[in-house]
Amino acid sequence: MSGVWIFAENREQSLELLNIGGELASQIGTKLVNIILGDNGQAQDYIDYGADEVWLLPALGPDQTLLAYAPVIADEAKQEDPDIFLVAGTLRGKELAAIIASSLDTGLASDCTFLKLGADNKLEMERLIFGGAGIQKVVCSTRPQMATIPARTFEPAEMKAGREGIKRELPTPPLSPLKLLARQNRVRESGDIREAQAVVAVGRGIEKKEDIDMIRELADILGGEIGCTRPITEEKHWLPEDLCIGISALEVKPQLYIGIGVSGQIQHVAGFRDARIVCAINKDENAPIFEASDYGIVGDLYEVIPRLLAELKKSGRAN
């Protein structure tokens, strides 16, 4: 057996993949290889978290993109023949994984939320389909078995200080014909809702754009971020796209999700299905969102939210 490989762009995602990757490697009886961008003193850190080998990708020129690493990683895979290769499911990570899979003439299952080994060490993968209405089970019949994994799918690996491992530098990739011309930061309405512990989402039930201010106030009191359904961004243009939650937009996993005036279409529900606690506020008692909620309030949001804000302020939750 030639190993379970993982690749992620940052430490948080690396630790998540080290957890599931280490579990799979242990079951197969093979090594766990973590491919990282540069060293920055992190190689031993990843070894302490379970990697048997850490492979360092060299720094690129300012006009090169992550995709320039594809030939180097693919060449290593052709020589080493890994059993499994897991890639963090960022936008850039999924692009890179697709190019590597094509180069290796193997399959790639995207956005997998469950992994386990079946007969003959075949990796059984599960992913959402049809806007989150169904679960597809996938088995890859070629090597390596590749999958991209969304953020926060698995818990981070536990540290085991004092582990020994191998650090290795990979070759410098050839200059890619794809050049990065410029970088421009996207201006966000607020913080990154994917990192928020509380998300308050607004749907069609809100009547005016100005009324979103009281939803934002609620989010601020809870120490969270505001989100929304697609109609609020695409039809009304009241909030930017980077606040849209859904299977084709952002997936969030907060400790608390509150849907206000949100009907609960499956495309939106799939975007918060992993929230720890879900609360819905809607005047339609038959709204589908109540079926996905732990707590529900049937009532007019224009009556419920002011009362909720008043109670939170009275309890000292307001800043």
Q: What is the pLDDT of residues 7-33, one digit of tens each?
A: 999 999 999 999 999 999 999 999 999
pLDDT category at 192 given cuts 50, 70, 90 is: confident
- Reported as a pLDDT band with limits 50, 70 and 90, residue 189 is low
* Residue 52 placed within a domain: yes
Length of the chain (residues)? 319
**Two tokens at 244?**
């849209």
Average of pLDDT values for 242-256?
86
Average pLDDT over residues 48-60: 94
Confidence of residue 241 (pLDDT cuts 50, 70, 90): confident
Q: Show the domain range for 206.
A: 193-314
* Mean pLDDT value across residues 282-305: 94
* Domain total of the chain: 2
Which residues, in sequence order, are CB contacts of 26 under 8 Å at separation 6+? none
Q: Are residues 164 and 213 in the same domain?
A: no
Mean pLDDT throughout 179-207? 78
Own/partner pairs, 111-116, CB within 8 angstroms, 24+ separation: 111/148, 111/149, 111/150, 112/138, 112/147, 112/148, 112/149, 112/150, 112/153, 113/149, 113/150, 113/153, 115/20, 115/24, 115/86, 115/147, 115/149
In the predicted model, is pLDDT for residue 40 greater than 80?
no
Instruction: Tell me, rounded to whole angstroms, the distance of Cα 143 from its chain centroid.
Output: 25
pLDDT one-digit tens code per residue, 196-234 = 899 999 999 999 999 999 999 999 999 999 999 989 998
Q: Do residues 237 and 95 both lie within one domain?
A: no
In a domain, 182, yes or no: no
Residue 191 pLDDT = 65
Q: Report pLDDT for 317.
A: 60
- The pLDDT value recorded for residue 180 is 74
pLDDT at residue 188 is higher than 60: no
- Provide DSSP, 101-118: HHHHT--EE-SEEEEEE-
Residues 253 and 290 both lie in one domain: yes
Residues 20, 164: one domain?
yes
One domain, residues 218 and 141: no
Q: What is the mean pLDDT of the chain?
A: 90
Domain finish residue from 154, 169, 184? 169
What's the mean pLDDT in 182-206? 78
For residues 79 and 42, state if they share a domain.
yes
pLDDT score of 301 more than 70: yes
What pLDDT is stored for residue 135 in this prediction? 85
Q: What pLDDT is recorded for position 131?
A: 60
Compute φ and ψ for 236, nearest 5 degrees. -90, -25
pLDDT of residue 1: 52
CATH code where residue 270 lies: 3.40.50.1220
Q: Is 13 helix (H, G, I), strand (E, B) or coil?
A: helix
For residue 47, the model assigns a pLDDT of 96
Q: In this structure, is the dihedral angle defined by the CA atoms of residues 282, 288, 289 and 294, taken in order, positive or negative?
A: positive
Which pLDDT value is given to residue 286? 93
Asked if pLDDT for residue 39 goes beyond 80, the answer is: no
